[in-house]
Amino acid sequence: MTTTPLDCQFKLSIDNVNAIAVYRYFESFNDEDFATTASLFCNQGKLYAPFTELITGQEAIQNYLETEAKGMKLRPKSADSQFLENGQQLIQIFGEVKTSLFTVNVGWQFLLTEQGNLEEVIVKLLASAPELLKISNQ
């Protein structure tokens, strides 16, 4: 089964995956609808964001995004997916995050429950040390 991308401002197509929560994550994040973004996580969902400690739970994730993510635009470019033996789905997406000051390459790793909710999202900056220093100076 091939998934058709949702009607979003970007087109992300992941073959052989039904990853509605992932599409909605990008769409709601880019719309700065962080309540919706956080609701995609299971109750004790985890967000591993750069430069911060683990964020657990929908309310904590929403508060973090409202504080730290305003003005960011996520631009996914490519994806890979696999089903794990326990029935969960692991999706890795590569793209970039754009702010008013900089653009940086990013990798997202989504772990979905069997029901399709986000159990955890790991966000990794894919930048060299000089690139990160340049960003921190801006």
Asked whether residue 45 is domain-assigned, the answer is: yes
The answer to whether 90 and 118 are in contact (CB under 8 A) is no
- Residues ≥6 apart with Cβ < 8 Å to 104: 96, 97, 125, 126, 127, 131, 135
Asked whether residue 14 is domain-assigned, the answer is: no
Asked whether residue 77 is domain-assigned, the answer is: yes
Asked whether residue 104 is domain-assigned, the answer is: yes
Query: 80: domain range?
Result: 20-136
Asked whether residue 1 is domain-assigned, the answer is: no
Asked whether residue 3 is domain-assigned, the answer is: no
For 49-96, write each residue's pLDDT tens digit: 999 999 999 999 999 999 999 999 999 988 888 889 998 999 999 999
The total domain count for the chain is 1
Rounded Cα–Cα distance for residues 1 and 22 (Å):
17
pTM for this structure? 0.84
For 35-51, write each residue's pLDDT tens digit: 999 999 999 999 999 99
Asked whether residue 13 is domain-assigned, the answer is: no
The answer to whether 19 and 81 are in contact (CB under 8 A) is yes
Alpha helices in the chain (DSSP H): 20-30, 34-39, 58-68, 129-136
Mean pLDDT (the chain) is 86
Asked whether residue 5 is domain-assigned, the answer is: no
Supply 50's token pair: 């750069």
Q: What is the CATH number of the domain that holds 51?
A: 3.10.450.50
